[in-house]
Amino acid sequence: DGGITQSPKYLFRKEGQNVTLSCEQNLNHDAMYWYRQDPGQGLRLIYYSQIVNDFQKGDIAEGYSVSREKKESFPLTVTSAQKNPTAFYLCASKSGHGAYEQYFGPGTRLTVT
Amino acid sequence: LAKTTQPISMDSYEGQEVNITCSHNNIATNDYITWYQQFPSQGPRFIIQGYKTKVTNEVASLFIPADRKSSTLSLPRVSLSDTAVYYCLITGGGNKLTFGTGTQLKVEL
């Protein structure tokens, strides 16, 4: 059963702690993405990766970090430097350059108090 | 990337056809028009994509006039389960997608 998995669904952390969100895909897609969504807003791009061991900053990369050591995995770390980390985080993947359909995971809702 | 403008919200009743229009005056020659649907607390789902004229699939139709400065997503005979946010995106040759705030469609009985 192919798709994108994100875990956990809900995550709670104390302010000042780093937290890592998991994203795994078994679609054999080259490109992977991380978005952030705040209530009533559209999605904003945090980071994206077009191939293994390479990634680029999106529109709101400050306070976040990523790695792409394997094609299937693109974890996102929300660092303590991120001023407003509470949000809904979505991971997506796409098969390659020229293909426009991105496949999204179910999302992780992060709450930092 | 071209900026898009779409209504913030729309209301409809079950069984009606819903048309959501998106303006994209600065669309470039190589850009496509893509629509996504998002339910609460879920990731967006691709609905349809087109370049010009009309595209139809099992869930929707997309109408694009000759000047391509706007497009209309048409949902035939909507049901309660079509209540969602619909995003219009302009997708160029790169890997980035830019989501606006979308159109909140509410379908009632």
**Bridge partners, B85 (sequence order):** B38, B104
Q: Do the Cβ atoms of B94 and B30 come closer than 8 Å? A: no
Query: Cα distance from A67 to chain B (closest Cα, Å)?
Result: 18
Is the CB of residue B21 less than 8 Å away from at least one CB of chain A? no
Q: What is the per-residue pLDDT across A17-75, written as a single tens digit (0 to 9) for each? A: 999 999 999 999 999 999 999 988 889 999 999 999 999 999 999 999 999 999 999 99
Mean of pLDDT values over A84-102? 85
pLDDT tier for residue A105 given thresholds of 50, 70 and 90: very high
Q: What residue in A sits closest to B93 (Cα-Cα)?
A: A98
Q: Which residue of A has its CA nearest to B46?
A: A101
The edge-to-edge listing of strands for the beta sheet with B61-64 is B18-23, B70-75, B61-64, B53-56
Q: Is the per-residue pLDDT at B97 higher than 80?
A: no
Residue-level pLDDT at B30: 85
Segment B47-64, tens digit of pLDDT: 999 999 999 999 999 999
Residue A1 has pLDDT above 60, yes or no: no
Contact check, Cβ <8 Å, B99/A104: no
pLDDT interval class at A98 (50, 70, 90): low
How are beta strands A19-25 and A4-7 bridged, if at all? antiparallel
CB contact under 8 A, A45 and B44: no
Q: Per-residue pLDDT for A12 more than 70?
A: yes
- What is the structure's pLDDT at A13? 92
Beta strands A87-94 and A103-104, pairing class: antiparallel
Percent of chain B with pLDDT over 90: 78
Q: To the nearest whole angstrom, how far is the Cα of B48 from the nearest Cα of chain A? A: 9
Is A113's pLDDT higher than 60? yes
* Percent of chain B residues past pLDDT 70, beyond the cut: 95
The phi and psi torsions of A84 (rounded to 5 degrees) equal -130, 75
Which candidate, A76, A24, A67, places its Cα nearest to that of A45?
A: A76
Asked if A104's CB is within 8 angstroms of B43's CB, the reply is yes
The pLDDT value recorded for residue B42 is: 93
